[in-house]
C-alpha cells in the first residue's frame, strides 16, 4: 500500500503547481473531473449497502432454514442446522461487548476501537464520527483525497455537488444577464435606427438648403462629408456655413461618443472642450498602443454605437468594471470580459451591488484572486475544481506516512444508554478511575449532566423526573424499541430525526420535537407547566421542515410525579421508565386553497 | 445516493429530480401573500387586459432597464388598477334587506323550534327578501307554529350577516317599528317591496353601514348573538375560498364507553396471570440489559423485550372524556365546495373540523388540550387500502387516527395547522427485520 502511495503521488504534485488558471480553464477541468467521476465510481464497487448494513441491531440472529413441505430435503437442512447449533452452540448474543469512554467535556461516550466504530454505525446507525458529518469515514476520506483509494465518500461527493450547483446557478444568472443585455441592445439599436432615419431626413433638408446657398457662392466641390452625424456632439459640430465647414476637424475621435444612455455614461461626459481634447489624445495613444483598434475601424463602426461608450468609461474610472482576471490572463477574450462587466445576481440572499469593484474577482466563488494559487479547503470555497481537493495535503504531509485514524465515534447519552441498558452491548468506563461504570452509575451520570451546570456536586439540587435526559431517553427508547432509527436533529431545528431504516437508505421523513407535559395532579398543584411555545414558533419549525420535505411530529412526554418516579426507581430503571407516556401528534400546515 | 440531509432538495440545479417540491413551495409562497388578481382581471377582458398580463411566476423586483420589462410591469400595474377601480353596482331587482333583531329569540314571547346546531338564540338578522344563490349554507328558516312571529323566515347568524353585508349582498337595516309591521305573519318573502317599505322609506328603519354591522355583531367569546373577530375572519376566509361552512353543534355528552363484552375464551384466559403469558418479560433485569443474553432465531423476541414505554393505542371510543375548552374546541364544520348533496338542514359528516385560536391569547396546545380536542372528533383512521402496505407507511402515519384543524389567526391573517393523532406504536418496523434478508435476495 505504501508503495502505491509513493507511485501515485508525484503526478499529482505536478498538477498542483500553483499556476493560476483562467476561470474557463478551471471550469473545464471541473467538468472533466465530474464527468470522469462516475466512471471511476463504477469500478470501485464494494459490497452492496444491504450487505454492509445487514444487521438492524448489534445482535445477530440465527434463523433456522425455511421448511418447504414439497421438498423433504429442506427438513434435513433444518435438522442439520438445528443439531449443529445444539452441539456447537454459537456464542450467546450479544457476543461482542463494545467499550466506550465517558467524556465529560463533550457529554458523550467515545468509541475509539475501529471495529466497534464500524459495528455500531453499521448495525443500527448509532453515533457520529467526530470528524465526519455522521458516518465515521474520516480515514477513508483522507485516503481518497490522497489518491490512495477510489471510493465513494459522501462528504466529498456533497462538496462536488455543491460546486456544480453553484456553477449552474452562476451559469443561469449569466444567461439571464445576457438575455437582458440582448433585449437592451436590440431596443437601443431600434431606437437609434429610428433616430437616424429622422435625422437623415432633417439633414437632407438642411443640405438642400445649403446647396441652394452654395450655388450662389463659389461652386467648389466639398471635401468628403463626414458620416451621418448622430450624437449630440456631432450635431453641434455640424458646419453651419460653408466657410466654417472647411476647417472641420477630423471627426473620428469625436465620433467615439455615442449618445450617452446610461447614468454612468452621462457622468463620464466631458465638461469642456479641453476635456475632449485631452481625452481624444489619450484614446488615440491607447488605440495606437493596443494596435487592435485602428482609426479606420473606429470610423467604420460609428453606426454600431452600443458597444462603444464603455471604452472611455473604463479608462476614465478604473474602479468600475475592471476585471482583474482578464488583466492577468491574456488568453481571455474581450467578449468574455464584456459579459462579466455588469453582474447582478438576482437570487442572492445578500444585497450586492450590481457593479463590481476592482477588488472583486470574476469567479462565482468570490475568493480573492490570490487564493487561487493556494487552495484553501477549510471553508469549502477554495477548491473550485475537482482537482484542488487532492492537491491540498501534499504540501504538509510527507508522502509515505501511513495515515493514523484520528477519528472516534461519539455516542449521545441516549444512544449510549440504550446500547447499554437496552441491548447490553456497551460498557462505558470512567476515564478518571478507569472503572467500568455500572448501569445505575451511567443512568445517574447522564441525568446529572443533562442539567447546566451539571448537578453532580453535593450542594446541587436533586435530580428531577423531568430532566432532559429522562424525557429524551423515553422518546429515544420508544422509537428504538419499535425498530425506528432516531438520530439527533439539531441540524434541522428539531430534537430528533426519525429514519425508517437509516440515513444510508432513506431520508428522515419526520422531525420530532419533544415537549414535556405535566398532566398529573401533583404537578398541577406545584404549578408546573410545559413550555409555552408561541404559534410563530410552530409555524417556523413546520416551514423549515417542509423545505427539506420532512414533517413535524410533536412528541408529548407525560412526566410522572417525583414520588411515584422515585418509588419505581428503587425497583429498577425499567420500572421507572414505564411511568413515562409518549404521545405523538402529527402536525402539518393545511392550506384552504389546496384542499378544495 | 440519498444520503445527504444537509442539502436542500429544492435547491435549483441539476439535482432536482422532481420539480414538484419546488413548484409546491413557490405556489405556497404565492398563495399566502398575493391576492389572485389574475382571476379578477380575467373578468375585465373587455377592457383589453388579458389574464396573461399579470405574471404570477417570477417576481420582477429590480428594473434592469429594458423596455420590455417596463412594459410588462406597466401592463400588470394597469390590470391591478382596473381591478381596484371596478365600480360595484347594486341592481334594484336583486335588492335584499335584512332586519336587525338582536334580542328577538331571547325574548320569551317568541317561540320556535330550537335544537342542536340550530343556534336559534344566536340568530340576530331576519331576511325580508330571499334572493340569490347564497342560501346554500347560510341562514336557517325558523320552524314552528305558523301563528308565531318570525317563524318561516330566514334567520342569520352574526358571522353570516357580516359576511353578506361585506359582500354587498344584503342591505342591513335597523328597524324603527315593531316586528309585526315590518314582517307580518304569513307574508311572502320573495316578492317585490311593499309600498311604504321600499329602499328609500327611512321612516320604517335606517340602513346600517358595514362598520355598524361589525360593531353590532363582533363581541367576546360566548356572548349571545355575537361572534369574535378571529372567528369571523376564519369564517370569511373559508367562505371566500368557496367552502360550505356551518357552526359545529355543541358537543354531545359522549356515550359511556361500554366494556366490550367478553367472549368465553377471553374470560377463561383472564384467570391466567399475565406474567405467565409473557414469560419473556419475567426475565427482564430491573437495571438492564433488557435483552437477555442468549441465542435468538429472530429479531421479534429481541424487540419484544425492549418494549418498555407504554405505547398509545388509538381507540374508536376514547376512554377518558374530558371536555374540550376554548380555544381548542371544534367551532366550524367545513365541507369541500365540490361535494354534491350538501344540505344545511341535514349536513353530511364534515370534511374538516376547525377550531379557532388567536395568536395573542393562545399558544401551542398542551397535551391535555390537544388530546381532548382530538377526542372530540370521530375516529378517522387511514383508508383500509393503505393498511399493511409498506409503501404507504408515511402516508398512514401522517394521516393519523383522528384529525382536527386549528385556524391560527394572527391579527387578521388566517393560517391553518392540521393536528393528527399519531400512533407510531401501530407501526412496528422490527417486524420487517426477520424477513428482510430472505426477501432481499429474490
| Listed residue (A276, A278, A220, A268) closest to A251, CA to CA | A276
pLDDT digits (tens, 9 = 90+) for B181-195: 888 876 655 555 677
Catalytic residues of A: 499, 507, 550
How much is the mean pLDDT over chain B? 80
Q: Inform me whether the C-beta atom of residue B295 falls under 8 Å from chain A C-beta atoms.
A: yes
Q: Do B297 and B411 share a structural domain?
A: yes
Asked if A30 and A385 touch (Cβ cutoff 8 Å), the reply is yes
Size of interface A-B (CB pairs under 8 A): 298
Per the structure block, which three cell numbers stand in for B83? 381591478
- B393 located within any domain: yes
Provide the shortest C-alpha distance from residue A178 to chain B (in Å).
Answer: 12
Q: How many of the other CB atoms lie within 10 Å of CB of B64? A: 19
What is the mean pLDDT of each successive set of 10 residues along chain A, which is 596 residues long?
37 38 42 43 65 91 81 83 81 89 96 95 95 92 85 86 95 92 90 90 83 65 52 60 46 47 59 51 48 41 40 40 41 42 48 47 45 41 42 47 89 97 95 94 95 89 93 97 96 95 94 96 93 95 94 97 95 94 96 87
Question: So what's the architecture of A464-587 in CATH?
Answer: 3-Layer(aba) Sandwich (3.40)
Q: Give the strand pairing for B403-410 and A128-129.
A: unpaired
Q: Is the CB of A56 less than 8 angstroms away from the CB of B338?
A: no
pLDDT band at B60 (very low <50, low <70, confident <90, very high): low
| Listed residue (A122, A144, A146, A180) closest to A41, CA to CA | A144
Q: Is A401 exposed, middle or buried (0-12, 13-18, 19+ CB in 10 A)?
A: exposed
Q: Give the strand pairing for B97-100 and B171-175.
A: parallel
- B100 located within any domain: yes
Position with higher pLDDT, B396 vs A15: B396
Asked if A258 and A309 touch (Cβ cutoff 8 Å), the reply is yes
State the number of CA atoms in the 13 A half-sphere of A303 facing the CB: 9
pLDDT digits (tens, 9 = 90+) for B123-145: 999 998 888 888 889 999 988 88
Give the whole-angstrom CA distance, residue A554 versus residue A514. Answer: 6
Q: Do B300 and B197 share a structural domain?
A: no
Residues within 8 A of B (CB atoms), A 247-266 only? 262
User: How far is the CA of A513 from the CAs of A572, A579, A585, B119, in angstroms?
Assistant: 27, 20, 10, 40
Q: Inform me whether the C-beta atom of residue B245 falls under 8 Å from chain A C-beta atoms.
A: no
Q: Inform me whether the C-beta atom of residue B310 falls under 8 Å from chain A C-beta atoms.
A: yes
Which residues 6+ apart lie within 8 Å of A281 measured at CB?
Answer: none
| Listed residue (B409, B130, B116, B346) closest to B249, CA to CA | B116
Average pLDDT over residues B79-108: 86
Provide the shortest C-alpha distance from residue A82 to chain B (in Å).
Answer: 11
Per the structure block, which three cell numbers stand in for A59? 445482535
| Listed residue (A194, A173, A305) closest to B64, CA to CA | A173
Q: Do B62 and B186 share a structural domain?
A: no
Per the structure block, which three cell numbers stand in for B10? 429544492
List beta partners, residue B69.
Answer: none
Q: Do B276 and B340 share a structural domain?
A: yes
pLDDT band at B148 (very low <50, low <70, confident <90, very high): confident
Range of the domain at B278: 238-251+263-442
Task: Determine which of B362, B367, B373, B391 to mutate to test the interface with A (most A C-beta atoms within 10 Å).
Answer: B367
Provide the shortest C-alpha distance from residue A488 to chain B (in Å).
Answer: 12
* Residue positions counted in chain A: 596
- B9 located within any domain: no
> Which of B42, B61, B84 corresponds to the end of one domain?
B84
Looking at the structure of chain B, the number of domains it has is 3
Asked if B54 and B41 touch (Cβ cutoff 8 Å), the reply is yes
For the beta sheet containing A409-411, the strands, ordered from the edge strand earlier in sequence to the opposite edge, are A128-129, A409-411, A108-111, A98-103, A426-429
pLDDT > 80? residue B272: no
Give the whole-angstrom CA distance, residue B156 versus residue B122. Answer: 8
Asked if B55 and B76 touch (Cβ cutoff 8 Å), the reply is yes
Q: Do B332 and B209 share a structural domain?
A: no
Q: Give the strand pairing for A551-558 and A581-590.
A: antiparallel
* Residue positions counted in chain B: 442
Domain spans, chain A:
1-59+152-395, 64-92, 464-587
Residues within 8 A of B (CB atoms), A 442-501 only? 474, 477-484, 491-492, 497, 500
Q: Interior CA angle at A12 toward A11 and A14, to 5°?
A: 65
List beta partners, residue B406.
Answer: B355, B417
pLDDT at res. A458: 87
Q: How many of the other CB atoms lie within 10 Å of CB of A4? A: 11
Q: DSSP letters along A320-345, please?
A: SS--HHHHH-TTS-HHHHHHHHB---
Residue with cell 367545513: B334
Residues of chain A neighbouring B380 (CB-CB closer than 8 A): none
Residue with cell 418494549: B307
Q: Do B331 and B197 share a structural domain?
A: no
DSSP helix/strand/coil, A93:
strand
Q: Do B426 and B301 share a structural domain?
A: yes
Cα dihedral value A431, A436, A439, A440, nearest 10: -70
Q: Is the CB of B363 less than 8 angstroms away from the CB of A535?
A: yes
- B6 located within any domain: no
Q: Using alpha carbons only, how large is chain B's radius of gyration in Å?
A: 30
pLDDT at res. B69: 79
- B1 located within any domain: no
| Listed residue (A476, A345, A353) closest to A419, CA to CA | A476
Q: Inform me whether the C-beta atom of residue B78 falls under 8 Å from chain A C-beta atoms.
A: no
Helix (H) or strand (E) holding B179: helix B179-182
| Listed residue (A413, A531, A517) closest to A465, CA to CA | A517
Give the whole-angstrom CA distance, residue A395 versus residue A378. Answer: 15
State the number of CA atoms in the 13 A half-sphere of A326 facing the CB: 16
Residue with cell 375585465: B44
pLDDT at res. A434: 93
Residues within 8 A of A (CB atoms), B 136-175 only? none
pLDDT digits (tens, 9 = 90+) for B324-341: 888 999 999 999 987 778
Asked if A415 and A107 touch (Cβ cutoff 8 Å), the reply is no
Q: Interior CA angle at A530 toward A524 and A532, to 5°?
A: 125
Q: Is the CB of B424 less than 8 angstroms away from the CB of A478?
A: yes
Q: Is the CB of B397 less than 8 angstroms away from the CB of A89?
A: no
Asked if B214 and B162 touch (Cβ cutoff 8 Å), the reply is yes
List beta partners, residue B332.
Answer: B247, B354
DSSP helix/strand/coil, B49:
coil
Per the structure block, which three cell numbers stand in for A502? 437509516
User: How far is the CA of A450 from the CAs of A233, A464, A467, in angstroms?
Assistant: 79, 11, 7
Q: Do B133 and B79 share a structural domain?
A: no
Give the whole-angstrom CA distance, residue A283 versus residue B223. Answer: 84
Per the structure block, which three cell numbers stand in for A229? 452625424
Q: What is the 3-state secondary structure (H, E, C) of A451-505?
A: CCCCCCCCCCCCCCCCCHHHHHHHHHHHHHCCCCEEEECHHHCCCEEEECCCCCC
pLDDT > 70? residue B46: no
List beta partners, residue A515.
Answer: A556
Intra-chain end-to-end CA distance of chain B, in Å: 22
Residues within 8 A of A (CB atoms), B 4-33 only? 4-15, 21, 25, 27-28, 31
- B168 located within any domain: yes
User: How far is the CA of B431 from the CAs of A36, A422, B303, B320, in angstroms?
Assistant: 42, 18, 9, 31
Residue with cell 430503571: A573
Q: What is the ipTM of this complex?
A: 0.82
Which of B14, B291, B400 lies closest to A59 in CB terms? B291
Per the structure block, which three cell numbers stand in for A362? 470574476
Residues of chain A neighbouring B303 (CB-CB closer than 8 A): 481-483
Asked if B306 and B433 touch (Cβ cutoff 8 Å), the reply is no
| Listed residue (A542, B21, A157) closest to B12, CA to CA | B21
Q: Is B214 exposed, middle or buried (0-12, 13-18, 19+ CB in 10 A)?
A: middle
Amino acid at each position: 500500500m505504501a508503495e502505491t502511495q509513493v507511485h501515485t503521488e508525484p503526478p499529482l504534485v505536478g498538477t498542483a503547481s500553483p499556476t493560476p488558471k483562467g476561470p474557463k480553464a478551471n471550469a473545464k477541468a471541473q467538468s472533466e473531473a465530474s464527468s470522469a467521476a462516475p466512471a471511476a465510481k463504477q469500478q470501485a464497487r464494494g459490497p452492496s449497502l444491504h450487505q454492509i448494513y445487514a444487521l438492524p441491531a448489534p445482535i445477530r440472529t440465527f434463523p433456522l432454514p425455511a421448511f418447504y413441505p414439497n421438498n423433504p430435503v429442506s427438513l434435513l437442512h433444518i435438522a442439520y442446522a438445528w443439531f449443529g447449533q445444539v452441539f456447537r452452540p454459537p456464542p450467546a448474543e450479544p457476543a461482542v461487548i463494545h467499550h466506550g469512554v465517558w467524556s465529560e467535556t463533550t457529554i458523550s461516550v467515545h468509541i475509539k476501537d475501529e471495529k466497534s466504530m464500524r459495528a455500531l454505525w453499521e448495525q443500527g446507525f448509532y453515533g457520529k464520527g467526530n470528524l465526519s458529518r455522521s458516518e465515521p469515514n474520516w480515514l477513508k476520506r483522507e485516503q481518497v483525497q490522497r489518491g490512495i483509494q477510489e471510493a465513494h465518500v459522501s462528504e466529498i461527493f456533497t462538496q462536488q455537488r455543491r460546486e456544480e450547483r453553484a456553477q449552474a446557478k452562476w451559469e443561469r444568472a449569466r444567461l439571464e444577464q445576457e438575455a437582458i443585455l440582448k433585449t437592451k441592445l436590440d431596443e437601443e439599436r431600434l431606437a437609434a435606427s429610428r433616430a437616424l432615419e429622422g435625422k437623415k431626413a432633417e439633414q437632407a433638408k438642411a443640405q438642400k438648403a445649403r446647396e441652394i446657398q452654395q450655388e450662389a457662392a463659389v461652386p467648389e466641390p466639398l471635401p468628403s462629408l463626414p458620416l451621418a452625424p448622430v450624437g449630440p456632439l456631432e450635431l453641434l459640430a455640424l458646419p453651419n456655413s460653408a466657410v466654417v465647414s472647411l476647417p472641420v476637424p477630423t471627426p473620428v475621435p469625436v465620433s467615439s461618443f455615442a449618445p450617452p444612455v446610461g447614468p454612468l455614461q452621462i457622468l463620464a461626459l466631458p465638461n469642456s472642450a479641453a476635456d475632449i481634447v485631452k481625452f481624444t489624445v489619450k484614446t488615440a495613444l491607447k488605440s495606437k498602443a493596443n494596435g487592435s483598434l485602428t482609426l479606420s475601424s473606429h470610423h467604420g463602426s460609428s453606426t454600431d454605437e452600443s458597444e462603444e461608450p464603455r471604452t472611455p468609461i473604463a479608462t476614465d474610472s478604473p474602479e468600475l468594471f475592471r476585471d482583474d482576471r482578464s488583466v492577468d490572463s491574456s488568453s481571455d477574450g474581450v467578449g468574455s470580459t464584456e459579459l462579466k462587466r455588469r453582474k447582478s445576481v438576482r437570487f442572492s440572499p445578500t444585497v450586492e451591488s450590481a457593479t463590481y469593484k476592482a477588488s472583486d474577482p470574476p469567479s462565482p466563488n468570490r475568493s480573492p484572486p490570490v487564493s487561487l494559487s493556494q487552495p484553501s479547503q477549510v471553508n469549502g470555497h477554495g477548491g473550485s475544481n475537482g482537482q484542488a481537493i487532492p492537491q491540498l495535503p501534499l504540501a504538509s504531509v510527507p508522502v509515505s506516512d501511513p495515515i493514523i485514524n484520528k477519528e472516534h465515534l461519539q455516542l449521545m447519552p441516549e444512544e449510549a444508554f440504550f446500547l447499554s441498558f437496552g441491548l447490553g452491548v456497551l460498557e462505558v468506563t470512567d476515564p478518571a478511575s478507569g472503572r467500568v461504570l455500572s448501569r445505575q452509575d451511567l443512568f445517574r451520570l447522564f441525568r446529572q449532566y443533562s442539567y447546566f451546570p451539571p448537578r453532580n456536586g453535593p450542594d446541587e439540587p436533586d435530580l428531577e423526573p423531568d430532566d432532559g435526559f429522562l424525557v429524551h431517553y423515553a422518546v429515544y427508547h420508544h422509537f428504538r424499541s419499535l425498530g425506528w432509527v432516531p438520530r439527533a436533529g439539531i441540524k434541522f431545528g428539531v430534537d430528533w430525526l426519525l429514519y425508517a431504516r437509516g440515513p444510508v437508505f432513506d431520508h428522515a421523513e419526520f422531525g420530532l420535537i419533544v415537549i414535556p407535559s405535566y398532566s398529573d395532579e401533583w404537578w398541577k398543584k406545584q404549578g408546573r407547566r410545559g413550555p409555552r411555545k408561541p404559534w410563530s414558533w410552530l409555524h417556523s419549525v413546520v416551514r423549515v421542515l417542509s423545505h427539506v420535505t420532512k414533517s413535524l411530529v410533536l412528541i408529548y412526554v407525560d412526566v410522572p410525579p417525583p414520588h411515584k418516579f422515585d418509588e419505581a426507581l428503587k425497583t429498577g430503571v425499567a420500572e421507572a421508565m414505564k411511568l413515562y407516556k409518549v404521545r405523538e401528534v402529527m402536525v402539518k400546515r393545511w392550506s384552504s386553497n389546496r384542499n378544495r | 445516493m440519498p444520503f445527504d440531509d444537509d442539502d436542500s432538495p429544492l435547491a435549483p440545479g441539476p439535482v432536482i429530480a422532481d420539480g414538484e417540491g419546488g413548484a409546491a413551495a413557490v405556489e405556497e409562497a404565492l398563495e399566502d401573500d398575493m391576492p389572485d388578481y389574475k382571476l379578477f382581471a380575467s373578468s375585465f377582458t373587455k377592457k383589453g387586459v388579458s389574464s396573461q398580463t399579470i405574471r404570477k411566476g417570477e417576481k420582477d423586483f429590480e428594473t434592469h432597464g429594458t423596455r420590455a420589462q417596463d412594459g410588462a410591469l406597466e401592463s400588470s400595474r394597469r390590470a391591478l388598477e382596473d381591478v381596484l377601480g371596478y365600480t360595484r353596482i347594486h341592481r334594484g331587482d336583486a335588492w335584499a334587506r335584512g332586519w336587525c333583531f338582536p334580542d328577538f329569540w331571547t325574548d320569551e314571547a317568541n317561540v320556535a323550534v330550537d335544537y342542536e346546531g340550530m343556534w336559534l338564540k344566536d340568530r340576530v338578522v331576519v331576511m325580508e327578501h330571499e334572493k340569490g344563490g347564497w342560501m346554500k349554507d347560510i341562514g336557517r328558516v325558523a320552524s314552528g307554529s305558523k301563528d308565531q312571529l318570525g317563524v318561516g323566515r330566514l334567520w342569520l347568524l352574526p358571522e353570516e350577516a357580516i359576511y353578506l353585508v361585506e359582500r354587498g349582498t344584503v342591505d342591513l337595516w335597523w328597524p324603527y317599528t315593531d316586528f309585526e309591521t315590518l314582517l307580518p305573519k304569513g307574508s311572502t318573502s320573495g316578492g317585490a317591496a311593499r309600498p311604504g317599505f321600499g329602499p328609500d322609506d327611512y321612516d320604517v328603519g335606517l340602513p346600517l353601514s358595514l362598520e355598524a354591522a361589525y360593531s353590532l355583531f363582533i363581541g367576546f367569546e360566548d356572548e349571545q348573538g355575537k361572534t369574535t373577530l378571529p372567528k369571523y375572519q376564519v369564517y370569511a376566509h373559508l367562505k371566500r375560498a368557496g367552502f360550505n361552512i356551518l357552526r359545529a353543534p355543541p358537543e354531545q355528552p359522549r356515550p359511556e364507553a361500554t366494556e366490550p363484552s367478553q367472549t368465553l375464551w377471553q374470560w377463561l384466559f383472564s384467570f391466567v396471570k399475565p406474567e405467565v403469558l409473557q414469560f419473556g418479560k419475567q426475565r427482564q433485569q430491573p437495571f438492564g440489559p433488557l435483552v437477555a443474553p442468549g441465542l435468538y432465531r429472530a429479531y421479534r423476541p429481541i424487540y419484544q423485550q425492549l418494549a418498555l414505554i407504554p405505547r398509545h393505542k388509538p381507540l374508536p371510543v376514547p376512554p377518558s372524556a374530558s371536555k374540550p375548552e376554548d380555544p381548542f374546541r371544534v367551532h366550524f364544520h367545513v365541507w369541500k365546495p365540490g361535494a354534491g348533496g350538501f344540505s344545511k338542514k341535514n349536513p353530511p359528516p364534515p370534511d374538516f373540523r376547525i377550531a379557532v385560536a388567536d395568536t395573542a391569547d393562545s399558544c401551542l396546545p398542551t397535551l391535555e388540550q390537544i388530546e381532548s380536542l382530538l377526542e372530540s372528533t370521530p375516529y378517522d383512521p387511514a383508508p383500509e387500502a393503505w393498511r399493511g402496505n409498506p409503501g404507504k407507511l408515511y402516508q398512514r402515519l401522517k394521516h393519523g387516527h383522528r384529525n382536527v384543524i386549528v385556524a391560527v389567526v394572527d391579527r387578521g391573517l388566517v393560517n391553518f395547522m392540521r393536528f393528527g393523532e399519531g400512533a407510531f406504536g401501530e407501526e412496528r418496523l422490527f417486524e420487517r427485520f426477520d424477513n428482510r434478508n430472505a426477501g432481499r435476495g429474490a
